[in-house]
Each structure stands twice: as C-alpha cells, then as structure tokens.
Amino acid sequence: MSTDLPEPEVKAHYDVVIIGAGAGGISVANTLAEYGVNVVMFDESSRPGGQIYRNLETNASKLTRLLGRDYAAGKKILTTFRNFIDKGLIEYYPKAKVWYLNSDNEIGVSKSGLSYKIRAKKVVIATGCQERPMPISGWHLPGVMSLGAGQILLKSASILPKSTVLAGAGPLLWLLAYQYRRAGVKVEAIVDTAMPSPWWSTSIHLLKALVAGEYLFKGLYLMLNARFSDVPIHRSVTHLKAVGNQQFESVSFKCNGEHYQIRADTLLLHQGVIPGLHIAEAAGCRIQWHGPQQCWVPVVDKWGKSSQNHISIVGDVSGIEGAKSAALSGKTAGLRLARELRKISGVQLGRLSFLSRLSRRRHQAIRPLLNVVFRVPVTYLNPPDEVVVCRCEEVTAGTIRGITKQGCMGPNQAKAFTRCGMGPCQGRMCSSTVEQIMAHELNRSVADIGRYRARPPIKPITLGELASTFSSPES
C-alpha cells in the first residue's frame, strides 16, 4: 500500500476526496469503492478508525476485549477498507492534515513537512466531533485533561492514570469510568454535573427512544455498573474547581449543600461532544444553531449534501448521532455520490439506500433523550470571571464580559480586541464559551451572536509547508 502523496508535478485531480478516516469517512470510501469509484482519503491520524475505532488495527486482543463490543465492531469496516486499499480503489494517506478547503473544491493538505494543493470533483467532509470545552477554575493546570484525551491515551498507547476523578456529563463519562475500572485504574470519584430534567420531558423522549433500546440498555448497564462498584458518585454537582498550585492536586465541588474536596493524580473533564466544523465553515457551507444539542451544525439534506453543491458532510460533523449513525450516513452519502458519478441508477439509489436510511432514523431516536438528560447547565457554559476561557492567549471570562459591556458585538470583534481564539487551537477550545458569555451578557441567543469565522490554515502548519504549496506546479 502506498502512503506517499503524488509527486507535486503530477496533476493532483481526483473524482472524490474524503477528509477523515472515521466510521463516517470509511463508509463513504467503502461504498464508492464497491461501485468502482476511485477515492482518495486524507486523515491526520496515523491509523484509520477515527475516535471510536482508534488504533483498532494494531490493538492487542486484551485491550480490544477491555474496550468492549462496540470497539471491536469496527474490525469489519476496517478489513473491507484495507481490502479496497490493496485493490487500488482507495488511496489512503495517514498523517495527512487538511488545512484548507474552498468552495471551488481546492484542498490544501500537508504531509511529511510538505503541503500540496489538490482538486476534486466531489469532497466529503467526515472530520467528526470534538469535546465541548468545560471551562472551570483551574482547568488549565497540568494534570487536568479532557476525558477524551484520557481515552485516546488508553486506546493509542495503553497509558493510564494512577488515580483519577472523572467529572462532567454525557455518555462518555460513564463509558470511560467502566473502561478505566476494568483496566485497573483507581477512579476516586465520578462527579456528575448533569441536572435532573423535568420528568414529563424525559418521559416523552424515553418513549421515542425505546426503538433504539440497545442504547438505553447500554447506558443503564454502565450506570448500574458504576453504582454497584466502590466508586463514590456525586450527582447534580455545582461549583466544580480544579485546585492546585503549579499542578492539579484536588477537585473541589458542592453537592446537596455540602462541600467536597477529593485528591487524585488527574482530573478528566467532559461535557458532551460538538461537531468539528472548521473545514465546512471555511468552505462556505451554511451552518445553523441546534438548540437541543447546544451547538452549531451544518445544514445538510438526508444524503449529507451541504449548501455547497459539491461538498457532502457525513458522520458526527454533520450533527452528533454516534458511530453507528455515522457509518449509515456515510453509506447513504456514498450511494448518492455513486449515482451522481453515474455508477448506479436512480432506482438503485432508492433501493440500496432504503435500509440504511431507515436504520439511521432508528439510531437517531435516542438523541432527543440524551439531549435532555445530559443538557449542559448554564453555569458550565457561562463560567465566572476568573476562569481562563482562551487557554492559548490566556483570556479570562471576565475580560470577555468587560469588552461586551463596552459594546463589543460578537465573537469576531472579541477576537480582534483580545486575541481570544487566535492561538494554535484556532478557537476550538474557547469558541463555544465566548459565544455563550456574550449571548448571556447581551441577553440574546447564541444563534444571533454568531461564531468565529473559520479561516485557513484550519490546522497549524509551518511557513515551510505553506511555501511548498505555492511552489508546486499545481498552483
């Protein structure tokens, strides 16, 4: 299998370019390859699989058993993917970072210190989601990480903390508690920040969610497993803080009117996931505010087609639905592209996609319940003044409030006033918090306030890489 990019002098034109080798992107690639379409796929990770199936190809069976059935389930699509690569139908480039995409389907991709400009008839964005930042006092201390980072260390390097507190809300909190305990990590406490939701709204959504019963059973199993373990669980927690001098030492919080302080080596924070929209936005795809999921999502039709005619968006970047739904959205988008490239007929498209679309609707049925049960409380979206919001440029919530009171009207102006969002993470860690603070301060909705404009380079690249793009004959 080739892992090198085409030489710069070769004209880099493709029918279909897929960005992201997670469940969504791989499903698009496998579907297109099945109907004889050559595709190229770029992924910044060193192995295919994305977040859920991270490192599955190399992980020993012991780790695979520990991570559970949902993890092992990825083997099937990864094997198919490898077969198509071997047959030359899929060109897959790992460690290839896409840093640019425009509405004319020009793609900037950097790999091994060089950057290339590529064109494609069709582009599929399958870049997945990111964790919603959880800005609390002390979250920037060494020893505090996101929960997802903890899971990435486990999957990619079998690195485990000695002792940890897991804090926040969302299904991943309970999943990692389960995986860590099975791996022998001392989980000092689970600190659940979700607030009880009104019984009537939960019941309505619970009824709808029954069609996706496997998620309910899995969630219940994970929670009961924690409940009947020796791990203390604190619920409806407020005033959460990471405490330490140069390093994280303990976590403090309030629960049922009592104050708690728990020591541990690490604190892992999590409050759900949100689509990673930078590439889609930079390419001019329309986005909109999704109230129930408390995040921005791209506007796509049932085939994953965005407002830009040649760009499809699949998987969690098109809206948070989970890995199974990501694979199904990838399959339907792949079939539609096969139709557009005249590999299948309209009748075939309808017939072949029917089951995937039906099955995806079933998986989607759990989402309204999860949105209600794990809704992030305002206090964790709109933190107190002293909390650092932008960790790259060290801008506090108080500074954002201050400039808003002085007349700053939105996140892009806040960027210019404070450098907030201008660091290496490109606003990934502060964007959602800045929007919320300004919306609350101005008494407007986040949809009104807007968000940072995404500009290339979407991922940090060196000046040398940038220069190499423009010295290639393609440019």
Ligand X SMILES: Cc1cc2nc3c(=O)[nH]c(=O)nc-3n(C[C@H](O)[C@H](O)[C@H](O)COP(=O)(O)OP(=O)(O)OC[C@H]3O[C@@H](n4cnc5c(N)ncnc54)[C@H](O)[C@@H]3O)c2cc1C
Q: According to CB under 6 A, which one of 16, 84, 120, 131 is a site residue for ligand X?
A: 131
Separation of alpha carbons 455 and 296, rounded Å: 17
3-state secondary structure of 337: helix
Task: Specify the stretch interacting with ligand X by CB under 6 A; choose among 74-82, 286-294, 312-320, 462-470.
Answer: 312-320
Do 364 and 325 contact (CB within 8 A), yes or no? yes
Q: According to CB under 6 A, which one of 34, 57, 70, 441 is a site residue for ligand X?
A: 70
Tokens representing residue 168 in the block: 């926040």
Tokens representing residue 445 in the block: 């909705």
How many CB atoms are closer than 10 A to CB 302? 13
Confirm or reject binding of residue 427 to ligand X (CB under 6 A): no
Task: Specify the stretch interacting with ligand X by CB under 6 A; choose among 5-13, 319-327, 366-374, 440-448.
Answer: 319-327
CB of 39 to ligand X, least distance (A): 14
Confirm or reject binding of residue 175 to ligand X (CB under 6 A): yes
Q: According to CB under 6 A, which one of 129, 311, 408, 438 is a site residue for ligand X?
A: 129
Q: According to CB under 6 A, which one of 52, 144, 226, 437 is a site residue for ligand X?
A: 52
Confirm or reject binding of residue 459 to ligand X (CB under 6 A): yes
Do 350 and 161 contact (CB within 8 A), yes or no? no
Task: Specify the stretch interacting with ligand X by CB under 6 A; choose among 40-48, 184-192, 302-310, 414-422.
Answer: 40-48
Strands (E), 245-393: 248-255, 258-263, 266-271, 273-275, 287-290, 295-298, 311-313, 388-390
Tokens representing residue 273 in the block: 């996931």
Q: Name which of 128 and 421 has its Cβ closer to ligand X.
A: 128
Q: According to CB under 6 A, which one of 5, 39, 40, 51 is a site residue for ligand X?
A: 51
CB of 364 to ligand X, least distance (A): 13
3-state secondary structure of 262: strand
Confirm or reject binding of residue 107 to ligand X (CB under 6 A): no
3-state secondary structure 311-376: EEECHHHHCCCCHHHHHHHHHHHHHHHHHHCCCCCHHHHHHHHHHHHHHHHHHHCCHHHHHHHCCC
- Angle between helix 411-418 and 431-442 (nearest 10): 110
Q: According to CB under 6 A, which one of 315, 383, 427, 457 is a site residue for ligand X?
A: 315
Task: Specify the stretch interacting with ligand X by CB under 6 A; choose among 157-165, 313-321, 359-367, 411-419.
Answer: 313-321
Q: Name which of 97 and 375 has its Cβ closer to ligand X.
A: 97
Separation of alpha carbons 297 and 295, rounded Å: 7
Separation of alpha carbons 117 and 163, rounded Å: 46
Separation of alpha carbons 82 and 475, rounded Å: 32
Confirm or reject binding of residue 98 to ligand X (CB under 6 A): yes
Q: Name which of 92 and 260 has its Cβ closer to ligand X.
A: 92
Q: Name which of 318 and 382 has its Cβ closer to ligand X.
A: 318
CB of 198 to ligand X, least distance (A): 27
Confirm or reject binding of residue 44 to ligand X (CB under 6 A): yes
Q: How far apart are the first and last CA of the chain?
A: 27
Half-sphere exposure of 180 (CA within 13 A, CB side): 31
Q: According to CB under 6 A, which one of 148, 168, 421, 456 is a site residue for ligand X?
A: 148
Task: Specify the stretch interacting with ligand X by CB under 6 A; choose among 29-37, 50-58, 110-118, 389-397.
Answer: 50-58
CB of 129 to ligand X, least distance (A): 5
Q: According to CB under 6 A, which one of 326, 338, 420, 434 is a site residue for ligand X?
A: 326
Q: According to CB under 6 A, which one of 110, 127, 293, 371 is a site residue for ligand X?
A: 127
Q: Name which of 34 and 70 has its Cβ closer to ligand X.
A: 70
CB of 151 to ligand X, least distance (A): 5
Which burial class, exposed, middle or buried, applies to 323 when counting CB atoms under 10 A from its CB (0-12, 13-18, 19+)?
A: buried
* Chain centroid, CA 455 distance in Å: 19
CB of 18 to ligand X, least distance (A): 9
Cα separation values, 381 from 126, 242, 270, 433, 438, Å: 26, 16, 12, 6, 11
Separation of alpha carbons 449 and 437, rounded Å: 10
Share of the chain residues as helix, strand and coil, in percent rounded to the nearest 5: 40, 25, 40
Separation of alpha carbons 64 and 154, rounded Å: 11
Q: Name which of 21 and 33 has its Cβ closer to ligand X.
A: 21
Confirm or reject binding of residue 364 to ligand X (CB under 6 A): no
CB of 48 to ligand X, least distance (A): 7
Applying the rule CB under 6 A, the residues between 249 and 308 that interact with ligand X are 273, 279
Helix (H) or strand (E) holding 97: strand 96-101
Confirm or reject binding of residue 50 to ligand X (CB under 6 A): yes
Separation of alpha carbons 305 and 299, rounded Å: 8
Query: Given the rule CB under 6 A, which residues bind ligand X?
Result: 19-25, 42-45, 50-52, 70, 97-98, 126-131, 148, 151, 172, 175, 273, 279, 315-317, 322-323, 326, 458-459
